[in-house]
């Protein structure tokens, strides 16, 4: 069955972006080996992306071609938009997920941001967290989960450390609250 994987980087102080959405801080950590922190392997496992409208606008602001043209891409937005060459827009998270979960395919990448992450968390739609903790404190910004996330217990299933000091943690929701540990 297809999994919804929330995969992104966070600063040591728990932010996914600066207050204005800027993610240039990700490039400040030295990476002499040019490691991709497992991104290429992850990208091969997915065939669909889902992101919020602010995240979509931030990606468009990078001034590069749309980075996921080989995937089926959805943007969650309260504002109506016509579909583009690479993206479909919807405000119906439950309907979208019911459709995607019924379809055969690879895993689904929930890219963020914090409001969409919380909407998926509170609906029990996140099957896995793949979080890269980047060794930088940015002081303020957009949190991983915004707007009152429900208390949710996750269990650690894998850790990986990289030469950059970045740590990748894989968690799955503990769907059985009485169970402890991995």
From first to last of its 182 residues, the chain has per-residue pLDDT tens of: 899 999 999 999 999 999 999 999 999 999 999 999 999 999 999 999 999 999 999 999 888 999 999 999 999 999 988 889 999 999 999 999 999 999 999 999 999 999 999 999 999 999 999 999 999 999 999 999 999 999 999 999 999 999 999 999 999 999 765 544 44
- At 179 the pLDDT is 46
Q: In angstroms, rounded to a whole number, what is the distance separating the alpha carbons of residues 7 and 174?
A: 18
Predicted confidence at residue 83, as pLDDT, reads 80
Alpha-carbon distance 27 to 136, whole Å? Answer: 10
pLDDT at 176: 63
Is residue 134 a contact partner of residue 26, using CB atoms and an 8 Å limit?
A: yes
The reported pLDDT for the residue numbered 74 is 97
Can you give the pLDDT at residue 151?
95
pLDDT given for residue 178 in this prediction: 53
**Cα Rg, the chain, nearest whole Å:** 16
């Amino acid at each position: 069955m297809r999994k919804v994987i929330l995969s992104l980087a966070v600063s040591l102080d728990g932010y996914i972006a600066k207050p204005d959405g800027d993610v240039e801080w990700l490039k400040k950590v030295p990476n002499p080996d040019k490691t991709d922190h497992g991104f290429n392997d992850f990208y091969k496992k997915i065939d669909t992306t889902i992101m919020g409208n602010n995240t979509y606008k931030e990606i468009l602001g990078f001034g590069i071609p749309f980075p996921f043209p080989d995937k089926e891409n959805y943007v969650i937005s309260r504002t109506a938009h016509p579909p583009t060459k690479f993206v479909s827009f919807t405000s119906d998270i439950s309907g979208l997920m019911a459709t995607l979960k019924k379809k055969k395919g690879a895993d689904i990448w929930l890219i963020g941001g914090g409001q969409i992450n919380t909407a998926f968390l509170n609906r029990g739609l996140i099957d896995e967290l793949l979080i890269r903790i980047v060794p930088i404190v940015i002081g303020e910004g957009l949190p991983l989960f915004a707007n009152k996330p429900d208390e949710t217990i996750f269990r650690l299933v894998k850790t990986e450390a990289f030469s950059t000091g970045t740590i990748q943690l894989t968690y799955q929701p503990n769907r059985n609250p009485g169970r402890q540990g991995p």
